[in-house]
Amino acid sequence: MYDIGIIGGGTAGLTAAIYGQRAGKTTLVFESGSFGGQIVSTYRIENYPGIANVSGSDFSGNLLEQAQNLGAETVTEQVTGIRDKDGVKIIVTTGKEYPCKAVIIASGVTQRHMGLEKELKLTGSGVSYCATCDGAFFRGRDVAVIGGGNTALEDAEFLTNYCSKVYVVHRRDEFRGDSTAVDILKKRDNVEFVLSATVKDIVGETMVEGLILSNKKTGQDFQINVSGVFVAIGQIPQNQIFSEYVKLDGAGFILAAEDCVTSHPGVFAAGDCRTKEVRQLTTASADGAVAALAACKYLSRE
């Protein structure tokens, strides 16, 4: 029996484990992939208060080590659901069942796809969702980054270190990301912005050879020749397995406000998986702390 079961080993989940352990509670963190979450693959973090510059892998590694040193336990298993039994919450995985007094869901999000016919077929053959993972394979080639948020801008900056040319394709006239990141790209000689454009098709049968783009203002189609396309058009939650246990909004995010309290007593949501306006590293960390303290308060009443 654990005091707090934490589903998700990203920034929110590991921060919750740290706060839970420091409050004298036993915590168990579930992660089906790599501990650290999406931030692991981030080339450089420069917007976390108190840390001027750190790689995503170093940040995540330090977070995991801190949680484990405090006594948090971790398990690499896929959670398939939660159910109640005799006043206890049972976290169900593909292999076992774990009884917990309180649960924090920090399941994060996954990358949104463009929905093109060849996208899945060419994933790994020119289509990528992780610039820091695959960027070095495109050294000296022309590539495109699809998206207008911070992730897309950061990916483009990273790729300028390897690629001959980086097209940044965005469907709007202006970027949603930080102006500082935009200014950095404007100073790079090998960056070209392609605005008010959407991706209509991918050229190539076995490897990416180019993109067919559509100008939203003129309606005309045109082609850019690239060897790689890095997709950064947003994220979608992974909460369907909890849909009968906690309430979700129309987009699939767990309904929970800044207090991280869900519709189910003793169950809390932290990080990108919950309804919120801002999804950043700092807000994920803050959610982890809030959710853990809320769980501790809930346990004190039991």
Residues catalogued as catalytic:
130, 133-134
Instruction: Determine contact, residues 242/64, Cβ cutoff 8 Å.
Output: no
Instruction: Name the H helices within the chain.
Output: 11-22, 56-69, 131-134, 150-159, 179-186, 281-301
CA torsion, ordered 152, 111, 273, 16, to nearest 10 deg? -80
Question: Between the CA of residue 248 and those of 4, 67, 264, 285, what are the distances in Å?
Answer: 22, 29, 11, 22
For 256-292, give one letter per residue: b (16+ CB within 10 A) or e. Answer: beeebbbebebbbbbbbbbebeebebebbbbbbbbbb
Q: Which residues share a beta bridge with 127?
A: 123, 229
Question: Between the CA of residue 60 and those of 19, 35, 236, 251, what are the distances in Å?
Answer: 16, 7, 21, 28
Q: Which residues are CB-neighbours of 245 under 8 A, at least 6 positions away?
A: 81, 82, 83, 264, 267
CA distance 212 to 206: 16
Burial of 219 (0-12, 13-18, 19+ CB in 10 A): exposed
Task: Give the DSSP letter string of 143-169.
Answer: EEEE-SSHHHHHHHHHHTTT-SEEEEE
Q: How far is residue 126 CA from its own chain's centroid? A: 21
CA distance 74 to 71: 10
